[in-house]
Amino acid sequence: MRGGVATEFSEQMKHIDLNQIKALKAFEYGLLIGCPLNGNPNPPNCQFHDIRLLSVNERFEWVDALSDKDAVAHYIAHLKCYSKRAAQSGLV
């Protein structure tokens, strides 16, 4: 596929509005509290591991400072990780 993931990501960004970004960031606040899968609430291989070590206020400030593009990228990375770990755990 020419362009691959970068092109697909750019196309997705064209269809996301401000309310969706706000909802996505609200979801990411929850992800910064802990991993939604059972077991370790802060797995060391998680993209949010180091952020979860910050105070709650610092975590929320981190999310608030994300650009729309970065917020979407982190969300997509979370979905891929979640799907992989859920499959490994036999949840799907």
**pLDDT tens readout for residues 5-62:** 445 555 665 667 778 888 999 999 999 999 998 778 999 999 999 999 999 999 999 9
Residue pLDDT, tens place only, 71-87: 999 999 999 998 888 88
Provide the number of structural domains found in the chain: 1
Q: What is the pLDDT of residues 56-69, one digit of tens each?
A: 999 999 999 999 98
* pTM (predicted TM-score): 0.75
Residues 6+ apart with CB under 8 A from 83: 92
Domain that holds residue 62: 4-88
